[in-house]
Structure 1
Amino acid sequence: MKKSTRPADIYLRFLQLAEALRGLPSLPSLDPLEERILAIIARAGQEQQRLSVRDMMGKKELGSPATLHSRLTAMREKGWIMLSDTEDTRRKQIELTQAALLHFDKLSNCLVQAAKG
Structure 2
Amino acid sequence: MEKHSPSADIYVRFLQLAHALRGLPTLDPLEDRILAFVALAGKAKDRLSVRDMMAQSELGSPAMLHARLKSMREKGWIILTDTDDTRRKQVELSQAAWLHFDKLSKCLMQATQDVNN
Determine if the TM-score, normalized by the shorter chain, exceeds 0.5: yes
Return the letter of the residue paired with 2:108: L
Matching residue of 2:14: 14
Matching residue of 2:54: 57
Matching residue of 1:92: 89
CA distance in 2, matches of 1:35, 1:44: 14
CA RMSD, Structure 1 to Structure 2 (Å):
1.1
After TM superposition, give the deviation of residue 7 of structure 1 in Å.
Answer: 1.3
- Per the normalisation by structure 1, the TM-score is 0.91
Return the letter of the residue paired with 2:7: P
Unaligned runs of 5+ in 1: none
Q: Does 1:38 align with 2:24?
A: no
CA distance in 2, matches of 1:99, 1:68: 21
**Structure 1 residue matching 2:31: 3-state secondary structure:** helix
Unaligned runs of 5+ in 2: none
CA distance in 2, matches of 1:61, 1:5: 32
CA distance in 1, matches of 2:14, 2:24: 20
After TM superposition, give the deviation of residue 63 of structure 1 in Å.
Answer: 0.7
- Per the normalisation by structure 2, the TM-score is 0.91
Aligned residues: 111
After TM superposition, give the deviation of residue 8 of structure 1 in Å.
Answer: 1.2
CA distance in 1, matches of 2:16, 2:8: 12
CA distance in 1, matches of 2:70, 2:53: 13
| Percent of aligned pairs sharing the same letter | 68
CA distance in 2, matches of 1:44, 1:115: 27
After TM superposition, give the deviation of residue 6 of structure 1 in Å.
Answer: 1.5
